[in-house]
Structure 1
Amino acid sequence: MGIRDIIEGKKEWRAHMARVKVLPQDYQIVYKEIQKYFFKVGPVQLTEGTALLSGIVDLFEEGAAMGKGVLDVTGRDVAAFADDLIKDSKTYADIYQESAMQEVNKAMKKVTDKKSKG
């Protein structure tokens, strides 16, 4: 990643956050909680630009323009809403689990091979 990419990324992020700041207060609170949730859960696509988060802001802007409360848009279970958005996305936890299983399988194969030779 070059310096231009970093600068462009920062500009995109600032523009994105400026959109969030003009949302009604209840939307801002829920957006920030979803954002924190995603940073903890770690969907891989989150590091590939702001498309996922921008989509949420788009949805929230529409809801606010229609005069809806944020929970009318997301439903009462905001974590379930967030999970649904990334249900088909690979997370860093998934990658770690796959890696751990591969290591276990390699180790078990070595043990099995030693037993069959011995």
Structure 2
Amino acid sequence: MPLYPGKLRHRVTIEKPDTVQDPTTGEMVPGWATVATVWAQKRASSAREFKQSQAGQSEISGEFVIRYRSDLDATIRIVHMGKIYNIEGVLEDNESGQEWLTLPYSEGVNDGG
């Protein structure tokens, strides 16, 4: 399944756990840092098979598809239109492995690092 750039119509922010400064106290606390803002395709899940093999994990709600990046792992989350999506895995494309990534997500708040 090739990735068609025209389908990447959702602007999303990728965040990773990090230590950030509390704006009130100035103290360094666990939080989230922006990795990148990218274009993504958001679609209903076709990754249920992936989750069924991961017993005890969260229920997959859908998936984001983005252009390939080498700096992502399952600790990231995506913020889209003010909503947080917890990424449950990073799946490379089946062809070259370096064209796009499929990011299955569960919905909910993941505020810890």
Q: TM-score range by the shorter chain?
A: under 0.3
- The structure with the larger Rg is 1
Structure-1-length-normalised TM-score: 0.20
TM-score (norm 2): 0.20
More strand by share: 2
Q: By percentage of residues, which structure has more helix?
A: 1
